[in-house]
Chain A
Amino acid sequence: TQLLEQSPQFLSIQEGENLTVYCNSSSVFSSLQWYRQEPGEGPVLLVTVVTGGEVKKLKRLTFQFGDARKDSSLHITAAQPGDTGLYLCAGVSGAGSYQLTFGKGTKLSVIP
């Protein structure tokens, strides 16, 4: 069973601060996705990273896939209250596999 460890589990910061969320595994993933989930709603895809070492930016969010495709990070610059939510990483194990393995999530609270 492939596991994805996310850290930190909870994060409470002031508006304007920067933060990084980590997603680590001992397994290699063919691709990795980051989602954001609001309470009572389904997850919404933020980004998919496929290539080892890949960096993708989405406004103030920067996503990086590790060179070995075992880990990923999400960095948020100048966090805003609207960034509050549950951030989930999910990995796809291999070619032809469509199943996602989710990390436990990082609950982010940005205080105005």
Chain B
Amino acid sequence: GAVVSQHPSRVICKSGTSVKIECRSLDFQATTMFWYRQFPKQSLMLMATSNEGSKATYEQGVEKDKFLINHASLTLSTLTVTSAHPEDSSFYICSARDPLAGGSSYNEQFFGPGTRLTVL
């Protein structure tokens, strides 16, 4: 099956610094990737949709200048949390869609293992 990796798996940073999280599709080319945020004991909330070669589409309430998304290649999307603050501490999860998947897998998203961000 399709595999999506994330790096780093955990990161601790000081308030005011920026953190970059990478999301890679390992065995397929992903024209679309998604970034989610999950707070403790809560569900996944979509932050933005990342399309290769174009600007990301952000969900309402998500600051695009704070959460910078770059999808420069078909296998890599990055999320940069700029000037991180303690309230940005969360579990960030990416997913990728395989445009060549057929049948009911057409809408399937393959999720990465997540990145735990802790801002001190």
Contact = CB atoms under 8 A, between A and B. Distances in A.
Interface of A: 30-31, 33, 35, 40-45, 48, 50, 88, 90, 92, 98-105, 107
Contacts, number: 60
B116 interface: yes
Interface centre among B95, B97, B107, B113, by most chain A C-beta atoms within 10 angstroms, is B107
B32 interface: yes
Interface string B21-56: 000000000001010000001111110010000000
Nearest to B40: A39
Contacts of B43: 88, 102-105
A107 B32 CA distance: 29
B69 interface: no
Contacts of B104: 31, 48, 50
